[in-house]
Amino acid sequence: MRELSWNKLNIYRTFAVELFLQMKNKVKKAPVATKRPKVMEIHGDKRVDNYYWMRLTEEQKNAEQPDAHTREVFDYLNAEKEYYEAVTAHTDQLKKKLFEEMKGRIKEDDASVPLKDNGYYYITRYEKGQQYPVHTRKKGSLEAPEEILFDVNEMAKGHEYFSLTGVDVSEDNKWVAFGVDNVSRRQYVLQFKNLETGELSPEKIENTTGSATWANDNKTIFYTKKDPVTLRADRIFRHELGTDPATDVEVYYEADETFSTFVYKTKSKAFIVIGSSSTLTTEYRVLPAENPLGDFSIVQERIRGLEYSISHFEDYFYIFTNKDGAVNFKVMRTPIHKTTADNWEDVIAHRSDVLLENFSIFKEYLVLEERSEGLNKIRVIRWDKTADYYIPFNEETYSTGVFSNPEFDTDILRYGYNSMTTPASVIDFNMKDHSVKILKEQAVLGGKFRKENYVSQRIWINARDGKKVAVSMVYHKDTVLNENTPFLLYAYGSYGHTISDSFSTTRLSLLDRGVVFAIAHIRGSQYLGRTWYEDGKLLNKMNTFTDFIDCSKALIDLGYTSNKHLYAMGGSAGGLLMGVVVNMNPELYNGVIAAVPFVDVMTTMLDETIPLTTFEYDEWGNPNDKVYYDYMRAYSPYDNISEKEYPNMLVITGLHDSQVQYYEPAKWVAKLRAHNKSTNVLVFDINMEAGHGGASGRFDALKETAKEYAFLLDLEGIKA
């Protein structure tokens, strides 16, 4: 009898456990957001926003005793988080496996290539199992004792999010300035550390960009403060080390709300430079670094449409500019005492088929970073005209870029190189004898990676207006391209930012499972020069969206995949892209991942109190002007949601995002739910501790990537 009783009890226990697990794993119903119509009218047009109430101020978000409205918003956001976790619970093991896989490829006890600057070698290293870097230096040689500037792991203790930025050492090597953000709002507290004693100077300067610039007296610091509401960097202050920041002197105020300001020191160490920039226009002021109490003098007053930046070499300022219609930019120079534009003379002329992206000055050399036919190139020119050549690169598609190279009197140029199949390398190139020294190659641990197992290629697709759009792709050599191939198409397409054809260790987790990864180099970037950007912004913005759609259709028509296996992904302005394409052609995609998506274009661009709004009028247009209003109104993702079948979607954001406020994707998801006619998955994952860039720790960031990959792989039925 006892044995029978125990058997029965075990059966009951087993049943109870199974029932509990069934109830626990039962997918909850999707949250249904309350509708509270808010009518907004301008230019005779009425828009109704049923979810405007989700918006909270920073004060409300951070209140120790939240009011009823704040609690309601947080309840909704938490309900969305719980729904995401419930719907994706069956992928938890896959997420864990992906995370461990990606982590296993990382050399955890890694270190940067030493960078020599002002008598010291600076090294950033990671320790096994630690999330954050350790910043160090060695005096004179690499055999010297290590000095720890910052152990960010210790600094980050007790914080869910932590970011260290703006590390800048004084010219006498005794002090270091740095900025700290533990909210993820990009409002940094500026501090100063004595490198001889390890002690912090008592002053803390809040609400800064996090960076500071030392004058040559080693006690005067220039820094940038932000508007506390809009977060626009609008004021430059002068601070004396050890004094009360309340007594700091404001040396420049940028009154134009479409501009932001910043400060730095030239590589020559001779000048402190204040810059002001908008999307289309720049302006600079200079002050001898030996005279920090002096007055800044203007280089060239702003002229709308004139972009320029300055570097110093001997008796001249060298100027990177679009002056005189140089849409792809050129290099000019002017005497340091005659700086207005009528004194500028060409050094490197404008070329219609070559985009000049940057330049670096050395004692004997001028180094140009160019882009031609979509590919990066590095050109080296001797000042004495005895040499002018390009560093050779052989792959079909790749990415390269010059490092900061703080040393001035040297023949060595340091640059980085990688491709979609080649891990990143740091290379020292001797500009005199052309010898190459590979200082470091990115380690890919785990024992499975072989470069020859992967294929990369670039194809050109005809857009609907006849323009050719490049698509770069990478996949495992065993992957067969056909209508059943899972294919992830990524793009950004704004601000002239070009997505590099670069290597990713995390991406291998997709490639090894038969997924093709591709980048669409759509208009709005500068992949094919400055005109490629101009043709994808303001009243040409629709080209960005139709380029992506045309690439998607072409990939299907070419037989590389089908709409049952094609996925789209983009973040921030790329999230706007995702929002538009699912409104225009939702049938093309089985799934879409939209990270921190800028989707409520109309409301945001009409609200000057929202961070970055006024600064971006030249990118998107000012909707207070009816022409731009009508154009934006035609594509704004939130405003163009309609009754249709939307694809499977994962939407990601952070509560403290300062670039795209959390309530944009929150409202978007709520409205999509109310209009979506499909039974596809729609989930919203909000990180309540992070901002625009996601988690701050290197391993936590991998967990977020694992979530994205698991979402896609699960839709493909790939469980392991």
Could you confirm whether 239 is annotated as catalytic? no
Could you confirm whether 501 is annotated as catalytic? no
Cβ distance 692 to 654 under 8 Å?
yes
| Continuous segment of H or E residues that includes residue 649 | strand 648-654
Q: How many CB atoms lie within 10 A of CB 353?
A: 9
Q: What is the chain's alpha carbon radius of gyration, rounded to the nearest angstrom?
A: 27
Residue 53's φ and ψ, nearest 5 degrees, are -60, -15
Q: How many CB atoms lie within 10 A of CB 129?
A: 9
DSSP per position, 435-493: -EEEEEE----SS---GGGEEEEEEEEE-TTS-EEEEEEEEETT---STT--EEEE---
From the centroid of its chain, how far is CA 347?
32
Q: How far apart are CA 156 and CA 133, in angstroms?
A: 11
Cβ distance 474 to 456 under 8 Å?
yes
The residue type found at 715 is L
Residue 291's φ and ψ, nearest 5 degrees, are -130, 65
Catalytic residue (choose from 425, 472, 692, 696): 692
Residue 439, Ramachandran bin (φ over 0: left; ψ between -120 and 50: alpha; else beta): alpha
Cα 249 to Cα 166, 225, 246, 253, 286: the distances in Å are 21, 12, 9, 11, 17
How buried is residue 637: exposed, middle or buried, by Cβ count under 10 Å (0-12/13-18/19+)? buried
Residues 6+ apart with CB under 8 A from 369: 356, 357, 358, 359, 360, 376, 377, 378, 379, 401, 402
Could you confirm whether 433 is annotated as catalytic? no
Closest CA to 594 of 619, 616, 568: 568
From the centroid of its chain, how far is CA 310?
24
The residue type found at 266 is T
DSSP H helix total and E strand total for the chain: 14, 37
Closest CA to 517 of 540, 533, 499, 530: 499
Q: How far apart are CA 319 and CA 308, in angstroms?
A: 6
Query: Which sign does the torsion angle of CA 62, 66, 67, 72 carry?
Result: positive
Cα 113 to Cα 116, 191, 441: the distances in Å are 10, 26, 10
Closest CA to 212 of 98, 120, 292, 106: 292
SS3 helix, strand, coil % of the chain, rounded to 5? 25, 35, 40
Q: Whose structure tokens read 């961070």? A: 611
Q: How far apart are CA 718 and CA 95, in angstroms?
A: 12
Structure tokens at 260: 């932001």
Q: How far apart are CA 120 and CA 115, in angstroms?
A: 8
How, if at all, do strands 233-240 and 249-253 pair? antiparallel
Cα 359 to Cα 229, 261, 347, 369, 502: the distances in Å are 35, 22, 12, 6, 21
Q: How many Cα neighbours within 13 Å face the side chain of 352?
A: 1
The DSSP symbol for 654 reads E
Catalytic residue (choose from 248, 535, 600, 657): 657
Catalytic residue (choose from 572, 636, 658, 696): 572
Task: Indicate which residues carry an active-site annotation.
Answer: 572, 657, 692
